[in-house]
Amino acid sequence: MSYKLIDAPLLTADQIRTRVYELAQALESTTNEPLHLVAVLKGSIVFLADLIRAMRGPITLDFIAVSSYDVNVSSGAVQLLKDIDTNIKDRSVVIIEDIVDTGLTLEYIQTLLRSKKPKTLHSVCLLSKPSRRQTKVVIDHVGFEIEDHFVVGYGLDYEQQYRHLPHISVVEVTSKQ
């Protein structure tokens, strides 16, 4: 495989900052109750850090980790690597996800958390690729809808690189002939 990082950002740091602030307002306007945020590791950490600093609270945090599956392997199975540490029964829970592509990961996490009987369960993602969807997963708040590009930056990686970029860029991945 070879890859090329496209120089011009798909989304600038300013665009992201404005939208994350709007998402924080939208989230908090849904309820007056304390929110328990469950962030999906690792890609959502930068989004989470900015989102919570735009919120008035009260909020609490937890983390969940699932395996990324190989899109070329048709099983599409998602595996739990780290479950949440908190009892979420009767609490207002929000899943914080970086990007929803096929929707299989978010659907898996929603099913798992719903089985723990929260009072409410909402989902927020920074990016969504609707053209790639394989499920009817419901996302309550979407930052940006994007085309079918592989993107990095603002927490998102390509082979663990580029998470530190303040903007989001496209990576063109090609198979070597």
Identify the sign of the CA torsion 105, 111, 117, 122. Answer: positive
The answer to whether residue 101 is catalytic is yes
Q: Which stretch binds ligand 5GP (CB under 6 A): 26-34, 49-57, 112-120, 152-160?
A: 152-160
66 closest CA partner among 83, 79, 48: 79
Out of 35, 64, 99, 124, point to the residue binding ligand 5GP (CB under 6 A).
99
Strands (E), the chain: 2-5, 35-41, 59-66, 80-82, 92-100, 120-128, 141-145, 150-152, 169-174
Neighbours of 28 (CB within 10 A): 15
Q: CB-wise, 7 or 70, nearer to ligand 5GP?
A: 70
Among 68, 79, 87, 111, binds ligand 5GP (CB under 6 A): 68
Instruction: Answer yes or no whether residue 111 interacts with ligand 5GP by CB under 6 A.
Output: no
Point out which span in 26-34, 55-63, 109-117, 151-159 binds ligand 5GP (CB under 6 A).
151-159
Please choose, from the candidates 126, 118, 136, 115, the residue with its C-alpha nearest in 3D space to the C-alpha of residue 40.
126
Q: Which of 101, 140, 148, 157 is an active site residue? A: 101
Which CB sits closer to ligand 5GP, 117 or 173?
173
Q: Is 152 in the site for ligand 5GP (CB under 6 A)?
A: yes
The first and second tokens of residue 90, run together, are 């009767």
Q: CA end-to-end span of the chain, whole Å?
A: 9
User: By the criterion CB under 6 A, which residues form the site for ligand 5GP?
Assistant: 43, 68, 98-106, 150-152, 156-157
Residues with catalytic function: 101
